[in-house]
């Protein structure tokens, strides 16, 4: 393939990736879009041209049945550094930037911008916009080249340099070597051994012949390779009808050669015992994958969503739950919260006293009012020491 052909393929990839290119018109109140994705694509390309990163700041469902969401500058909110290495601070700091647009999605699905703030409290960098995380993108051609070179035994560094040469320089790429390395790591997970995918499917078919209520879905990628797998037996589906008000969801890594996250849906029966309500093997732990899994599980359960779902503090899970289970109460797992107590307060001079009191508040409060009363007393007593200790 000649260099000219490579550029043409890259150009076509870019056209496919930009669903709604920015046409030079700034966002304004009253603009309408056919969907939330279209509005997001528009603001993404506007941000790229202006030279700032963007992110979804918030979204919620109103009492009127409409969906409200806010897209804004990635430097919104106050920045708090968690880095322990002072020589490597986070390069993208938050400045409480107010630039954003507020939009409302009607019951029919159309989106209307209700208000816009265009001014930023920091400098914009149009020439560096391609380095922002939200703008990094690997097109189909680049992905294919990376995969083929990796299968040929070419290491990631040389693999990436070959793409730089074809593109006539680093400035013509919308991704870096780390993005290539992350993609290769993900692809390697999907390379099941010879016959493994067929073995999984044969097993599922055999289970479905034994019981027609056995449910499974195999998600394939663009190259028809097995990407994600979900299954639930008849017992799990029947149990959900009785004990599906509250579920927990978590991902744990299995010690197998594929290193794929195992994702179980778990409920509690009337004996206080944990019951399995479905499970999956995933290729990734991003919003897109979780959204696919939640929709698949919901379809398996006849479209009946839980009243509440408990997870860890994973942002990708949170985003997917807002999309698939908008009316469910989303709560964080108490075990994950308490596990962070030593990390957050371990260096405090009164750590042992705080830990004992906190455990009493969390595990020995018999009512909401009891918890609130104990919590306020603890915060009132230790607040000054915690903030300045």
One domain, residues 221 and 316: yes
Of the candidates 45, 30, 169, the one whose C-alpha atom is nearest the C-alpha of residue 112 is: 30
CA atoms within 13 A on the CB side of 116: 11
pLDDT digits (tens, 9 = 90+) for 292-342: 999 999 999 999 999 999 998 888 899 999 999 999 999 988 888 888 888
CATH of the domain at 296: 3.30.420
Range(s) of the domain holding residue 354: 342-388
pLDDT digits (tens, 9 = 90+) for 215-254: 999 887 766 667 889 999 999 999 999 999 999 998 865 5
Beta strands in the chain (DSSP E): 32-33, 54-61, 67-73, 100-105, 111-117, 215-220, 226-232, 246-249, 252-253, 261-268, 274-281, 308-311, 329-332
Structure tokens at 312: 């860890």
pLDDT digits (tens, 9 = 90+) for 247-300: 999 886 554 455 567 899 999 999 989 999 999 988 778 888 999 999 999 999
User: What's the gap between Cα 5 and its chain centre?
Assistant: 35
pLDDT digits (tens, 9 = 90+) for 141-193: 777 788 788 878 888 888 888 888 887 877 677 677 888 887 777 766 655 55
Q: What is the model's pLDDT at position 9?
A: 41
pLDDT above 90 as % of the chain: 29
One domain, residues 291 and 331: yes
One domain, residues 176 and 222: no
The answer to whether 277 touches 247, Cβ cutoff 8 Å, is: yes
* Within-domain flag for 116: yes
One domain, residues 186 and 247: no
* Residue 210 to residue 304: CA distance in whole angstroms: 25
* Within-domain flag for 140: no
* Within-domain flag for 216: yes
Q: What is the mean pLDDT of residues 3-26?
A: 48
One domain, residues 200 and 180: no
One domain, residues 324 and 200: yes
One domain, residues 13 and 31: yes
* Within-domain flag for 184: yes
* Within-domain flag for 141: no
* Within-domain flag for 207: yes
Lowest pLDDT segment from 191-205, 284-298, 365-379 = 191-205
Residue 88 predicted with pLDDT over 50: no
One domain, residues 126 and 254: no
What is the chain's length? Answer: 389
Measure the CA angle with vertex 316, ends 311 and 319; round to 5°.
90
Average pLDDT of the chain to the nearest whole number: 80
* Within-domain flag for 272: yes
One domain, residues 175 and 202: no
* Residue 22 to residue 42: CA distance in whole angstroms: 6
One domain, residues 29 and 86: yes
In this prediction, residue 195 has a pLDDT band, given cuts at 50, 70 and 90, of low
Residue 85 predicted with pLDDT over 80: no
Residue 119 predicted with pLDDT over 70: yes
* Within-domain flag for 115: yes
* Residue 18 to residue 243: CA distance in whole angstroms: 44
* Residue 186 to residue 49: CA distance in whole angstroms: 30
* Residue 344 to residue 325: CA distance in whole angstroms: 31
Residue 24 predicted with pLDDT over 80: no
One domain, residues 115 and 58: yes
One domain, residues 236 and 290: yes
Number of domains in the chain: 4
């Amino acid at each position: 393939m000649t260099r000219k052909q490579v550029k043409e393929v890259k150009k076509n990839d870019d056209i496919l990736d930009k669903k709604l290119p920015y046409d030079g018109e700034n966002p304004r109140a009253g603009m309408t879009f056919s969907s939330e994705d279209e509005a997001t694509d528009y603001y993404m390309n506007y941000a790229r041209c202006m030279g700032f990163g963007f992110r979804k700041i918030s979204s919620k469902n109103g009492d009127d049945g409409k969906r409200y969401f806010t897209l804004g500058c990635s430097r919104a909110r106050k920045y708090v550094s968690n880095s322990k290495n002072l020589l490597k601070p986070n390069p993208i700091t938050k400045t409480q930037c107010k630039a954003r647009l507020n939009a409302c999605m009607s019951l029919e699905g159309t989106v209307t911008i209700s208000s816009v703030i265009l001014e930023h409290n920091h400098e914009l960098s149009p020439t560096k916009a391609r380095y922002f995380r939200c703008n990094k993108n690997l097109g189909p051609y680049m992905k294919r080249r990376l995969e083929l070179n990796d299968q040929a035994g070419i290491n990631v560094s040389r693999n990436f340099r070959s793409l730089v040469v074809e593109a006539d320089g680093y400035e013509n790429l919308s991704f870096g070597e780390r993005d290539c390395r992350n993609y290769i790591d993900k692809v390697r997970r999907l390379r099941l051994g010879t016959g493994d995918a067929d073995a999984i499917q044969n097993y599922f078919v055999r289970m479905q012949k034994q019981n027609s209520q056995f449910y499974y879905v195999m998600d394939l990628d663009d190259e028809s390779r097995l990407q994600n797998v979900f299954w639930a037996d008849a017992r799990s589906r029947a149990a959900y009808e009785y004990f599906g008000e509250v579920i927990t969801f978590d991902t744990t890594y299995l010690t197998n050669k594929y290193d794929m996250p195992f994702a179980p849906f778990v409920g509690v029966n009337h004996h206080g015992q944990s019951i399995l309500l479905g499970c999956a093997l995933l290729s990734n732990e991003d919003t897109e994958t979780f959204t696919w899994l939640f929709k698949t599980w919901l379809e398996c359960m006849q479209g009946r969503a839980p009243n509440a779902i408990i997870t860890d503090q994973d942002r990708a899970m949170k985003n997917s739950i807002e999309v698939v289970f908008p009316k469910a109460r989303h709560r964080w797992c108490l075990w994950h919260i308490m596990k962070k107590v030593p990390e957050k307060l371990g260096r405090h001079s009164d750590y042992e006293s705080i830990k004992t009191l906190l455990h009493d508040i969390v595990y020995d409060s018999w009512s909401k009012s009891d918890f609130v009363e104990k919590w306020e007393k603890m915060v009132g007593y230790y607040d000054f020491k915690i903030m300045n200790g």
